[in-house]
């Protein structure tokens, strides 16, 4: 399906030039010659992308007002602002209000097409991301009646009227991202962007670009997480993994509320609510000089601790019932008949915490349509106790029982992970999903245990 672009400019030559460039690329083009025509076209049907001249025929209304109208209807619709005599302050204001890009006249055919194609790609990515987020997170609630979860819920409620920075800490899989989303959803910024940057998944050389963005010689710009989160909320997941040098730059942004893109010379002003999360003890990292103490204190204004699932087993039946309902609805299959009194669910230590439990329920939901409780119980036992096949190996038994506890655990972990990797044909992502670990955490564990590859 061809994309539709609305070109708004009071100069007929510019309208014709831009329209012809776009039509030659098989875009559907509508045009507006003045402010009133533009409002009519926008209200009639929102385009896939809009190109708007800042200066129009009205003295009291201009392209900035049209930008506001478009973003009010759909904040994801990319808008390219053009002008022959705009000031830097106008360009900054347009970007702050949600413009995808700002171009000065005269501009080349290549530049306008480059921005249009990138803008449309960005729009599609944002739409897909929003759909996934709504499906996976916005519909999920923070489930549990244990004292620790009750305390977290109360803190989230209190934060609804606050702009304080939040540091969420707890083991992997306990729901740190979900808590961050709930904080954003309850805040005055709820209608603005919620942007996530996972520090554990980035290469050391890309941190600055991912956070601050980059300017290129041809005038194009790659926006970083800080800019994309402007007016909204930025979650830095696994904040402990940010390199020490980059930590200093993040601290400066928190102090000044501005930064420069890579290769940029102009300050970019931002207004964001920062939430950080970590599965590591930042206090220990501070003492070991691996995390800046001044940054730690600026992030840790409102701490939220999430407990492991093994320490709040009273929430397991509530979580199972909730996930059975939600996941059967999402996957379009009947609700499974899971026995919430199954002892295996409570004696298992849940290293992957709530995420691992959710994955278990989803697998059972998909695999056991109309199965009996006894069959499902057997499947749960097989999934939660894969060690039975490992421990049947006499060599491993002898090696484990003749070793100190720490070494025995290491032997078991190595054998267990090797078996899971073989089952998944060496696929790290599938293995991490099955055992309830984050991909980055599994990589670290494999490196620690000396597991280099599985054939």
Kindly list the distances between the CA atom of residue 19 and the CA atoms of 6, 14, 16, 44, 112, in Å, as whole numbers in the listed order. 9, 8, 5, 19, 11
For the segment 385-418, what is each residue's pLDDT rounded down to a tens digit? Answer: 765 444 444 444 444 445 565 566 676 677 778 7
Query: Which of the listed residues 67, 95, 124 is the one where a domain comes to its end?
Result: 124
pLDDT band at 379 (very low <50, low <70, confident <90, very high): confident
Shared domain for 316 and 285, answered yes or no, is no
For the segment 34-64, what is each residue's pLDDT rounded down to a tens digit? Answer: 999 999 999 888 999 999 998 887 777 888 8
Shared domain for 178 and 210, answered yes or no, is yes
CATH code of 234's domain = 3.40.50.300
Q: Is residue 129 part of a domain?
A: no
Q: Is 268 left (phi over 0), alpha (psi -120 to 50) or beta?
A: beta
Q: Which residue has the higher pLDDT, 131 or 144?
A: 144
Query: Which of the listed residues 93, 124, 155 is the one where a domain comes to its end?
Result: 124
Shared domain for 81 and 34, answered yes or no, is yes
Asked if 260 and 266 touch (Cβ cutoff 8 Å), the reply is yes
Q: Is residue 236 part of a domain?
A: yes
Instruction: Report the pLDDT value the prediction gives residue 444, as an integer from 0 to 100.
Output: 83
Q: Is residue 92 part of a domain?
A: yes
Instruction: Retrieve residue 437's tokens.
Output: 């670990």
Q: Is residue 342 part of a domain?
A: yes
Mean pLDDT across the chain = 85
pLDDT reading at 113 higher than 60: yes
Instruction: Report the pLDDT value the prediction gives residue 87, as an integer from 0 to 100.
Output: 65
Instruction: Report the pLDDT value the prediction gives residue 407, as an integer from 0 to 100.
Output: 64
Shared domain for 168 and 252, answered yes or no, is yes
| C-alpha to C-alpha distance for 101 and 38, rounded to whole angstroms | 19
Residues with Cβ within 8 Å of 427's Cβ and at least 6 positions away in sequence, in order, are 421
| C-alpha to C-alpha distance for 334 and 260, rounded to whole angstroms | 52
Instruction: Report the pLDDT value the prediction gives residue 134, as an integer from 0 to 100.
Output: 53
CATH code of 405's domain = 1.10.10
| C-alpha to C-alpha distance for 212 and 261, rounded to whole angstroms | 5
Instruction: Retrieve residue 226's tokens.
Output: 């800080």
Shared domain for 172 and 205, answered yes or no, is yes
Shared domain for 151 and 218, answered yes or no, is yes
Shared domain for 301 and 324, answered yes or no, is no
Q: Cβ of 174: how many Cβ atoms within 10 Å?
A: 26
Instruction: Retrieve residue 440's tokens.
Output: 């980055």
CATH code of 118's domain = 3.40.50.2300
Q: Is residue 131 part of a domain?
A: no
Instruction: Report the pLDDT value the prediction gives residue 391, as an integer from 0 to 100.
Output: 42
Q: Which of 442, 423, 165 is nearest to 277 (CA)?
A: 165
Shared domain for 360 and 399, answered yes or no, is no
pLDDT reading at 99 higher than 70: yes
Instruction: Look at 91-100, 198-207, 266-275, 387-396 and tell me which has the smallest mean pLDDT.
Output: 387-396
Q: Which range of residues forms the domain containing residue 87?
A: 4-124
Shared domain for 112 and 184, answered yes or no, is no
Question: What pTM did the predictor assign?
Answer: 0.60
Q: Is residue 454 part of a domain?
A: no
For the segment 349-365, what is each residue's pLDDT rounded down to a tens digit? Answer: 899 999 999 989 988 88
CATH code of 330's domain = 1.10.8.60
Instruction: Report the pLDDT value the prediction gives residue 414, as an integer from 0 to 100.
Output: 77
Q: Is residue 226 part of a domain?
A: yes
Kindly list the distances between the CA atom of residue 138 and the CA atoms of 54, 92, 451, in Å, as whole numbers in the listed order. 36, 32, 37
For the segment 315-347, what is each residue's pLDDT rounded down to a tens digit? Answer: 999 999 999 988 888 777 888 889 998 888 988
Total count of domains within the chain: 4
Which pairs count as long-range contacts for 82-88, CB under 8 Å and 24+ apart, including other chains?
82/9, 82/14, 82/51, 82/52, 82/53, 82/54, 82/107, 83/53, 83/54, 83/55, 84/55, 85/55, 86/54, 86/55, 88/266
Shared domain for 183 and 266, answered yes or no, is yes
Instruction: Report the pLDDT value the prediction gives residue 388, as an integer from 0 to 100.
Output: 47
Query: Which of the listed residues 385, 418, 437 is the one where a domain comes to its end?
Result: 385
Q: Is residue 29 part of a domain?
A: yes
Shared domain for 35 and 51, answered yes or no, is yes
Instruction: Report the pLDDT value the prediction gives residue 390, as an integer from 0 to 100.
Output: 43
3-state SS, the chain, equals CCCEEEEECCCHHHHHHHHHHHHHCCCEEEEECCHHHHHHHHHHCCCCEEEEECCCCCCCCCHHHHHHHHHHHCCCCCEEEEECCCCHHHHHHHHHCCCCEEEECCCCHHHHHHHHHHHHHHHHHHHHHHHHHHHHHHCCCCCCCCHHHHHHHHHHHHHCCCCCCEEEECCCCCCHHHHHHHHHHCCCCCCCCEEEEEHHHCCHHHHHHHHHCEECCCCCEECCHHHHCCCCEEEEECHHHCCHHHHHHHHHHHHHCEECCECCCCCEECCCEEEEEECCCHHHHHHCCCCCHHHHHHHCCEEEECCCHHHCHHHHHHHHHHHHHHHHHHHCCCCCCCCCCCCHHHHCCCCCHHHHHHHHHHHHHHHCCCCCHHHHHHHHHHHHCCHHHHHCCHHHHHHHHCCCHHHHHHHHHHHHHHHHHHHCCCCHHHHHHHHCCCHHHHHHHHHHHCCCCCC
Shared domain for 232 and 351, answered yes or no, is no
Buried b (16+ CB within 10 A) or exposed e, 121-132: ebbeebeeeeee
Instruction: Retrieve residue 172's tokens.
Output: 């992997």
């Amino acid at each position: 399906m061809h994309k539709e672009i609305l070109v708004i400019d009071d100069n007929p030559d510019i309208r014709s030039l831009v329209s012809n460039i776009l039509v030659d690329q098989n875009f559907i083009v509508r045009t507006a010659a003045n402010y009133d025509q533009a409002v009519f076209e926008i209200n009639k049907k929102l385009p896939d992308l809009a190109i708007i001249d800042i200066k129009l025929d009205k003295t009291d209304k201009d392209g900035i007002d049209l930008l506001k109208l478009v973003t009010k209807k759909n904040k994801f619709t990319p808008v390219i602002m053009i002008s022959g005599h705009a000031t830097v302050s106008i360009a900054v204001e347009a970007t702050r209000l949600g413009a995808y890009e700002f171009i000065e006249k005269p501009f080349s055919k290549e530049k306008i097409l480059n921005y249009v194609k990138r803008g449309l790609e960005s729009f599609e990515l944002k739409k897909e991301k929003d759909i996934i987020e709504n499906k996976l997170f916005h519909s999920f609630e923070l489930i549990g009646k244990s004292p620790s979860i009750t305390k977290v819920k109360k803190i989230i409620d209190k934060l609804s009227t606050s702009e304080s920075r939040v540091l969420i800490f707890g083991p992997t899989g306990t729901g740190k991202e979900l808590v961050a989303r709930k904080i954003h959803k309850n805040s005055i910024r709820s209608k603005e962007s919620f942007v996530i940057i996972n520090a554990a998944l980035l290469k050391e050389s890309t941190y600055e670009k991912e956070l601050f963005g980059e300017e290129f010689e041809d005038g194009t710009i790659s926006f970083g997480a800080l800019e994309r989160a402007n007016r909204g909320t930025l979650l830095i997941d696994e904040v402990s993994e940010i390199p020490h040098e980059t930590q200093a730059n993040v601290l400066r942004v928190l102090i000044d509320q501005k930064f420069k893109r890579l290769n940029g010379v102009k300050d970019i002003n931002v207004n964001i609510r920062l939430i950080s999360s970590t599965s590591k003890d930042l206090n220990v990292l501070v003492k070991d000089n691996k995390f800046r103490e001044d940054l730690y204190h600026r992030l840790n204004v409102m701490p939220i601790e999430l407990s492991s699932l093994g320490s709040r087993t009273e929430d397991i039946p509530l979580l199972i019932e909730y996930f059975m309902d939600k996941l059967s609805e999402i996957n379009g299959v009947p609700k499974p008949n899971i026995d919430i009194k199954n002892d295996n669910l409570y004696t298992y230590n849940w290293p992957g915490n709530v995420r691992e439990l959710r994955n278990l329920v989803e697998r059972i939901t998909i695999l056991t349509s109309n199965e009996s409780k006894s069959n499902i119980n057997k499947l749960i036992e097989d999934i939660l106790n894969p060690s039975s096949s490992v421990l049947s190996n006499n060599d491993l038994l002898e090696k484990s029982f003749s070793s100190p506890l720490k070494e025995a655990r290491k032997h078991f972990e190595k054998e267990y992970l090797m078996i899971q990797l073989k089952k998944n044909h060496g696929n790290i992502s599938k293995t991490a999903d099955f055992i309830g670990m984050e991909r980055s955490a599994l990589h670290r564990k494999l490196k620690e245990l000396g597991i280099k590859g599985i054939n």
